[in-house]
Amino acid sequence: MSRVLLVQPAFPIPSKSHHHKDYLPVGLLKLATWRRKQGDDVALSLGSLRTDFAPDEIYVTSLFTYWSTYVRDAVSFYRRTFPAARIIVGGVYASLQPDHCLNFTGCDEVYQGVHAEAELCNPDYSLVDTDFQIVHASRGCVRRCKFCGTYEIVPDFIPKSSVRDEILKNHLVFYDNNLLANPYLSDVLREISEFRVNGRVVTCESQSGLDGRLLLKRPHMARELKAARFRNPRIAWDGRFSQQESIKAQLTILSEAGFSPKDTQVFILYNHDLAPAELMAKVEQCFKWGIQVADCRFRPLGLFHDGYRPYKKSQVDDEYYVHPGWTDREVRLLRRTVRSNNICVRYGIPRDRYVQELECLSHKERASLAERLGYEGDRLTDAQLAEINRTWLASRREPEPQPTTKG
């Protein structure tokens, strides 16, 4: 029997990030099941470093190449703490940049690609405390976008015709790279729509954007997604502004299937080949449609560090990757525009009334303010929304109470 420690380095996953809030190192959880089946003793280190379990083998996962320093720091710590243990690094960075990973982190071995035997196991959710689970209904992608490393990690597209035997929880997060490309997706969605866990229905969502070009070919998938209680669809719009008619048609398919525009987003890649003016036009078009934008700043697959600081007013170009057709100022302007547009779309306020503090107003707080002001029902009028926003801003600007001294 071996003692196996599974390690997720202390990645700087933003606590408020909508797109990362459902991140779990699912590969490590599958490895846990696989090793336990062989009679091994397994422990998990999730972000924090642990010294209470002396392992024979350590598996460290990796994510984006530009988070390589977090992987190196974890390997260095465990090397110092358990010098006799064999350290293996796998995951995205390890698969895309194996030589760099071996030399830079100082690990003993790099594992490239998906672990074939662990992949056949269900993740061991006893190691984590979550009310959702990760599911892959496929591996790989049918496309070869030049900015994406998926095909280097999983060269073939491998769809599943069923996930029924994997469903354990009431909320599923698909980690598929291209969910809609699965030719069996209708079957998978039908089984989710009919499945019950503890007598309750199952809901689902996708970590990646949806390939809307496939929705145009098979529009019935939108209704099937809705029937499977799919939440917050995001359409990917990586191409030119001239594709706007096609994107509009994809959004219409979603809205006709019952997805509210306020819960739908368009994914855009910026700081890449399209010029800043074209990206701004895409963002403006989404605003006109009343759709929020999920923006993704491009970083090359061979980048090993990202020093971008969103809250700084400016940075010099070599602190983070700025595409030759972009400037730091344009990167920040696009981000600011996306943020303010999203707030205006989310809360139904005119753009000239946007103020940054409204970004802190959560749905829960807004509902609570609506209740306090005596507004009922899901659909608030413009005047009611304006009143809620005014009340929120006034509460944010109230002076801090001063400490008093009572003798």
* 87 versus 268: smaller Cβ distance to ligand SF4: 268
| φ, ψ for residue 256, nearest 5 deg | -70, -20
CB of 145 to ligand SF4, least distance (A): 3
From 136-144, 300-308, 327-335, 382-390, span contacting ligand SF4 (CB under 6 A) = 136-144
Distance CA 88, CA 33 (A): 17
Distance CA 198, CA 201 (A): 8
355 binds ligand SF4 (CB under 6 A): no
* 106 versus 183: smaller Cβ distance to ligand SF4: 183
Q: Which one among 120, 145, 201, 355 touches ligand SF4, defined by CB under 6 A? A: 145
CB of 141 to ligand SF4, least distance (A): 3
Q: How many helices (H) and strands (E) does the chain have?
A: 14, 15
From 28-36, 143-151, 350-358, 383-391, span contacting ligand SF4 (CB under 6 A) = 143-151
Distance CA 261, CA 189 (A): 22
Chain CA centroid to CA 32, Å: 23
* 107 versus 235: smaller Cβ distance to ligand SF4: 235
CB of 93 to ligand SF4, least distance (A): 16
Q: Which one among 43, 127, 128, 148 touches ligand SF4, defined by CB under 6 A? A: 148
301 binds ligand SF4 (CB under 6 A): no
216 binds ligand SF4 (CB under 6 A): no
Placement of tokens 């995951």 in the chain: 91
Query: Under DSSP, is residue 310 helix (H, G, I), strand (E, B) or coil?
Result: coil
Q: How many CA atoms lie within 13 A of 274 on its CB side?
A: 21
Cα 354-205-356 angle, rounded to 5 deg: 15
Burial classification of residue 151, based on how many CB atoms lie within 10 Å of its CB (0-12 exposed, 13-18 middle, 19 or more buried): middle
Helix ranges (DSSP H) in 290-399 = 328-347, 363-372, 382-397
206 binds ligand SF4 (CB under 6 A): no
Q: Which one among 57, 124, 211, 306 touches ligand SF4, defined by CB under 6 A? A: 211
Contacts for 231 with CB less than 8 Å, ≥ 6 apart = 203, 204, 205, 263
141 binds ligand SF4 (CB under 6 A): yes
From 56-64, 141-149, 361-369, 390-398, span contacting ligand SF4 (CB under 6 A) = 141-149
Footprint of ligand SF4 on 167-186 (CB under 6 A): 177-178
Residues at the contact surface with ligand SF4, assessed by CB under 6 A: 141, 143-145, 148, 150, 177-178, 211
